[in-house]
Chain A
């Protein structure tokens, strides 16, 4: 408990967190504008629009549009939270404070554990702030198009809660990656590239490769962390139609793997 409070204090007492928060808010506003536009298109067309089950990128139920608004900012939010979580670890080496931390707590796995919990709490804080903003502004946008806020819809709340889970899991993933890649620059660049390429590049990659290695190959898409995350949150249609919970399982596995391997290495390593 004390260690978790100390970790949160560490975060609060430097400027890193609010720089990240400002960046996040700016990106959140940007995506809100985009989603506003998407909403206007979707709702103007009305519910008469046909859903294309083959591509399935937009399922234009009105409640889905609402859910999309209420989880607005997720793409960048997850990225920012993951990077912040990684920096929670790498800054100890970058700023040479690891010695102090491990002198105070020689059982290093406890330090890593405290960082995991602190990062998850920070991730949830980002989620909470963005969700509150989304609920207010999303409802206003919907009202502007004469649509209800869908606060009674189960799908909406499910999306919001799964969004929270995604924030927490990406925070864990970030800490694990930070432990593995001690270099601050190395960790942030690697994570950003994996994240963005994972989202934007892997779709293209699998589209190009197709099933030339056999039918099973495209199904591996779900193993790409950002795609697993997409599956978890939005139920994105992937080849083989894996269930949504599989996305969560895969993310948890990545997070646990990165965290566990990192912790074992941290325990053995000489701190110089």
Chain B
């Protein structure tokens, strides 16, 4: 197997906590130059997986590599992989700038790297304020600044949108997309699916510690194209219903008077209406979104085990 620079390969990762198999033979790859969403219900094993990948939690079995090397064997890991694991991981009595200076010192980087990282996340005005005075959004920004300190090619973020306001979420989205566009590998765990649909190029979906689906967002959505629905609104519902039933379509009436048609393409529904001389006020194809797919894929796999 050849090692792709910037590629994360997770292979048969397993973690057993007593009776509970938190992560179960999990394998997936994360490609550089793209934002990959790591999705799963609460308790699916997302955080445990990330912590195993980063050498903080010892896997029961399996491996995770960055460009072919396990995290704990990387020299100066923060120059290769930047991680944001929890918003509250700085000393409360230390200033944001000093927090980064400690990390820079340990990595042999100059203090100017800390200032640069603060500037990149817009924290310069609060640089000399103590961490306990930071808002949740500022803590997240400091976490990202810390992850970016060593200018790594791989970024891993655990629920970075938690506690951010809409402006902060937008800022995060733009930043992560820009970082991926520079060719970096970006892996973001989240349970906020609407946000992920806007942000991610690829998704890895897990539930109960097992892989459910992996691939580009479009493909994962398309793999469930059977759920394509067409929404129609007409002043002559009875005529349209009769015409559609001749085409073997399944029609359901919605409370607001619209009909949803399952089993026909949008154009087909339009043609049937035209041929039957039925007036249409609305005709929309509704693709399943990530949320529907996610709920469908993870249905029956309880988050609390």
Q: Mark B125-164, 1 if CB is under 8 A from A, else 0.
A: 0000000000000000000001000000000000000000
Main secondary structure of the interface of B (DSSP, over half): loop
Is B92 an interface position by the 8 A CB rule? Answer: yes
- How far apart are B90's CB and chain A's nearest CB, in angstroms? 6
The answer to whether A9 and B93 touch across the interface, beta carbons within 8 angstroms, is no
A16 contacts across to B, CB distance below 8 A? 93
Please classify how large the interface on chain B is, using the bins under 10, 10 to 19, 20 to 34, 35 or more. Answer: 20 to 34
B51 contacts across to A, CB distance below 8 A? 270-272
Q: Mark A34-53, 1 if CB is under 8 A from B, else 0.
A: 00000000000000000000
Is A6 an interface position by the 8 A CB rule? Answer: yes
State the CA gap A107–B86 with chains docked (Å). Answer: 21
Is A241 an interface position by the 8 A CB rule? Answer: no
B105 contacts across to A, CB distance below 8 A? 2, 5-6, 9
Is A31 an interface position by the 8 A CB rule? Answer: no
Q: Mark A8-50, 1 if CB is under 8 A from B, else 0.
A: 0110011110000000000000000000000000000000000
Q: Which of B86, B88, B89 has the most CB of A within 10 A?
A: B89
- How far apart are B206's CB and chain A's nearest CB, in angstroms? 18
Interface residues of A in 94-124 (CB under 8 A from B): 95-97, 99-100, 102-107
Is B78 an interface position by the 8 A CB rule? Answer: yes
State the CA gap A257–B231 with chains docked (Å). Answer: 73
The answer to whether B88 and A96 touch across the interface, beta carbons within 8 angstroms, is yes
B107 contacts across to A, CB distance below 8 A? 2, 104
Q: Mark A251-271, 1 if CB is under 8 A from B, else 0.
A: 000000000000000001011
Is B91 an interface position by the 8 A CB rule? Answer: yes
Q: Which of B56, B72, B83 contacts A270 (CB 8 A)?
A: B56
List 18 contacting pairs A-B, 8 Å CB cutoff, sorted by A: A2-B105, A9-B102, A9-B105, A10-B91, A13-B94, A14-B94, A15-B93, A91-B91, A96-B88, A100-B89, A100-B90, A100-B146, A103-B78, A106-B71, A270-B51, A271-B51, A271-B57, A272-B56
Q: Which residues of A contact B (CB under 8 A)?
A: 2-3, 5-6, 9-10, 13-16, 91, 95-97, 99-100, 102-107, 268, 270-272
Q: Which residues of B contact A (CB under 8 A)?
A: 51, 54-58, 71-72, 74, 77-78, 83, 85-86, 88-95, 98, 101-103, 105-108, 146
- The 8 A-B residue pairs with the shortest CB-CB distance, nearest first, are A6-B106, A13-B98, A106-B72, A271-B56, A6-B105, A270-B57, A95-B91, A14-B93
